[in-house]
Amino acid sequence: MPNATQAVRNPLAYIAQHWTPSPGTVRRAAMAAVVMSVLIVVTGGAVRLTSSGLGCPTWPTCTNDSLTTTSAMGIHGAIEFTNRMLTYVLCAAVGWAIIAARSAKPWRRGLTRLGWAQFWVVMGNAVLGGAAVLTHLNPYVVASHFMLSPLLITFAVLTWQRSREGDGAPRPLVGKPVVQLTWVLAAATGALIAVGTLVTGAGPHAGDRSDVPRVPIDWKTIAQLHADLAWVVCGLATALWFMLRAVDAPGGPRHRVRDLLVVLLSQGVIGYVQYFTHLPELLVGLHMLGAALIWIAVVRVLLSLRERPHADTPVPAPAELQAPQPAPTA
């Protein structure tokens, strides 16, 4: 039974021998992983905002005696256990992306590796989520748990983008100053998200109704720093937009920065409204969704600064390096 033996030893290679997905299928698989990487952020926020962080008081089982939630644990146990089950849905989406990338013809090794990078981040985040429960929602562990989400989103968006382009050498579409400013924008956005986790760690939404440790900082002070960083990010994004227009950059980078500005302004409105309305749970949840969308927009801006043609597609030389064409003769 050579086929059965091969399927057990190397199931991905076996599937690749018997299935060739279309390019559209590979792209849809990659997009499913992007959607689930955002959804798990939202549902994780729902666990915290409904005070269900310890709805399952232990890990990896829900209780010492039960793998799943029980009726005695009420709605908080159901919410926390549902979020844990969504991790398996996320794994399925990432697994589909890996299988589709591995089965595509020709095989693109780099695309498969990006899928595996997502898988290992999911595994690491699951362990951190368990550590958060076992440490009774230690705010620093919870913050670390959340900060792996942008990394997962980065790999997911990169996988989706690479599924839509070739494997040729990347060709820059803008000059080095634009690239440098974009990386500064990305670093500032990362700092903005990190400080946002401290706001949550010091704020009123502890994740459980019991005595949960908090970050020993006045949450209004750290919220002000968060707002200041948000203005810095908005300023950098606006400067980048004007710079792209000044150098007459291609439409792709300009459109991606425009999208980022729209998401930033929407997030800013939600942020200020939630602050002045004393952090209602629904708006805080929308703000967490906005954080994921902002990071996606930043990653897309970075990726829009270059293009990767298919390996067999000739890359045209810049206009100033092309040989002049002879004038047509009558």
Q: What is the dihedral of CA 181, 184, 189, 192, to 10 degrees?
A: -130
Residue 69 has, within 13 A of its CA and on its CB side, a CA count of 19
For 266, half-sphere exposure in the C-beta direction (CA atoms, 13 angstrom radius) is 16
CB-hemisphere CA count at 13 Å for 205? 27
- Segment holding 83, helix H or strand E: helix 74-103
The pLDDT of residue 320: 34
- The confidence score (pLDDT) of residue 199 equals 86
Question: How far is 181 from 127, CA to CA, in rounded Å?
Answer: 35
**Lowest model confidence (mean pLDDT) among 51-65, 174-188, 252-266, 294-308:** 51-65
Q: What is the DSSP string of 117-130?
A: HHHHHHHHHHHHHH
Give the percent of the chain with pLDDT over 70.
89
Distance CA 319, CA 325 (A): 12
Q: Are 207 and 54 in contact (CB under 8 A)?
A: yes
Angstrom distance (rounded) from CA 274 to CA 286? 10
Q: What does the pLDDT read at residue 179?
A: 96
pLDDT tens by residue, 70-109? 888 889 899 999 999 999 999 999 999 999 999 999 999 9
pLDDT at residue 3, as a whole number: 64
SS3 54: coil
pLDDT value of residue 315: 45
Q: Is the peptide bond before 250 cis (omega within 30 degrees of 0)?
A: no
Mean pLDDT in the chain? 88
Q: In percent, how much of the chain has pLDDT > 90?
A: 61
| Main-chain dihedrals φ then ψ at residue 117, nearest 5 degrees | -60, -40
Q: Name the pLDDT band for 208 (thresholds 50, 70, 90).
A: low
- Find out whether 45 and 19 touch, Cβ atoms under 8 Å: no
Cα 116 to the chain's mean position, in Å?
Answer: 15
Compute φ and ψ for 171, nearest 5 degrees: -115, 120
The arithmetic mean of pLDDT across residues 275-304, rounded, is: 93
DSSP 72: G
Model confidence at 144: pLDDT above 50: yes
Q: What is the dihedral of CA 112, 144, 206, 40, to 10 degrees?
A: 0
Length of the chain, please? Answer: 330
Residue 318 has pLDDT above 50, yes or no: no
Considering only CA atoms, give the Rg of the chain: 23
> What is the mean pLDDT of the segment spanning 111-115?
95
What tens digit of pLDDT does each residue of 231-289 get? 999 999 999 999 999 999 999 999 999 999 999 999 999 989 988 888 888 898 999 99
